A and B are shown apart, each in its own frame.
Chain A
Amino acid sequence: MKDLDKKLINLLQDGFPLTPRPFLTVAEQLSDEGVEVTEAEVIRSIQALLDEGILSRFGPMYQAERMGGGLTLAAMKVAEEDYERVTDQVNAFSQVAHNYRREHELNMWFVLATESPEEIEDCIDKMEAITGYHVFNMPKKEEFYVGLKFAL
């Protein structure tokens, strides 16, 4: 990865300026760090990082609950012979945001994100009916804030 891209990613993980010409502000911040770059180059670099799939997003990350939606972490204990079927059934729900297989008796873990908090229960009920497996619902009780740490 280019040096400019690394610096850009490190800088912008912390936030994006709310100035009329934010990419110019970013270019100036990078110049202060010894990286000479123009506003246009910053814009082009971000576009390229998005196109290459190195960035998944450029913009706000909303707090789901504050948006009026529901959010939870759910897990299932799925037998090996059913794993593929249950995966397909679970992933068919549009509310499933991530689905990981993990090494534990509880071997399927996914995030449920719904438009309203009530929809979580409803979604889990349907999932249990369709898959025949219990869904463990583990909504967060408290979040311990962690900064962004993917330094390059």
Chain B
Amino acid sequence: MDEIAQLRLRKAIQNGLPLTEQPYLTLARELGLTEDQVMQTITDWQEDGLIKRFGLVVKHHTLGYKANAMVVWDIPADKVDEVGELLSLCDAVTLCYQRPRQLPEWNYNLFSMIHGQDRDTVLQQLADIIEQNGLSGFQYDVLFSYKLFKQCGGQYVQASQEQLSNSPVSKSSVSQGASI
């Protein structure tokens, strides 16, 4: 498959797969390809990491995961890989990244997200993570979100007046897949 055909396929599926009995055949017909080509190319993209995930993406907020905490850690360079691995294995942690510090304002280099039903649950989950992984010696901070001002995919979400005030954390909403 040439590059233009690949681009066209990439574009054709970026907003979702067709909900037909044979979605790969549907795509193939639209794009002048064979069903095998479509399936093989998507398989290749998954194997080489161009597609991180292939399936469905839920809106956590609607599923009851209403608290969204960014938990950030100050971890020495020689420990950051180890702690990052540990965090990524915790059930409550939904994202985990190493990022640069921004001294002097920002001292944290490891970012993790915890989603939970409510704020107390998230804090309890964090306490368990710290205890079970022996992380009590590291400095960390918990940044709960107040609200979502703009959601993914370029969809503009206008914050209401109510949201602009210091509304409780239960107003927050999240969208999986963001590299937060």
Contact = CB atoms under 8 A, between A and B. Distances in A.
A110 to B, nearest CB: 7
Given A57-B57, A98-B148, A18 B105 contact: no
Nearest to B172: A100
Nearest to A142: B98
Q: Which of A16, A56, A136 has the most CB of B within 10 A?
A: A56
B93 interface: yes
B54 A60 contact: yes
Contacts of A55: 56-59
A104 B53 contact: no
Interface string B90-102: 0111111111101
Interface in A1-38: 9, 12-16, 18-24
Contacts of B81: 142
Taking residues whose C-beta sits less than 8 angstroms from the other chain, chain B's interface range is 35 or more
A104 B35 contact: no
Contacts, number: 222
> DSSP majority for the B interface?
mixed
Contact of B58 (A19, A142, A150): A150
B140 interface: no
Interface residues of A, number: 71
B50 A63 contact: yes
A59 B147 contact: no
A16 B55 contact: yes
A120 interface: no
The secondary structure that dominates the A interface is mixed
Contacts of A150: 58, 60, 63, 65, 94, 115, 176
Given A59-B16, A91-B156, A101 B145 contact: yes
A60 B179 contact: no
Nearest to A134: B105
B88 to A, nearest CB: 4
Contacts of B25: 20
B70 interface: yes
Interface string A44-73: 001101101111111111111011000101
A101 B63 CA distance: 21
Q: Give the 4 A-B CB pairs with smallest separation, nearest first.
A: A144-B88, A144-B96, A102-B143, A144-B84
Given A105-B105, A143-B96, 11 more contacts: A16-B56, A20-B22, A53-B62, A54-B59, A61-B52, A73-B180, A87-B159, A97-B150, A110-B150, A142-B81, A150-B94
Interface of B: 10, 13-17, 19-25, 35, 39, 42-43, 45, 49-60, 62-63, 65, 68, 70, 80-81, 84-85, 87-88, 91-100, 102, 105-106, 111, 115, 141, 143-154, 156, 159, 164, 172, 175-180
27 contacts: A20-B25, A43-B19, A43-B20, A47-B19, A54-B63, A56-B152, A56-B153, A59-B14, A59-B54, A60-B45, A62-B10, A63-B51, A63-B52, A96-B150, A97-B152, A97-B153, A98-B178, A100-B145, A101-B147, A103-B143, A104-B141, A104-B143, A143-B96, A144-B85, A144-B88, A144-B97, A150-B94
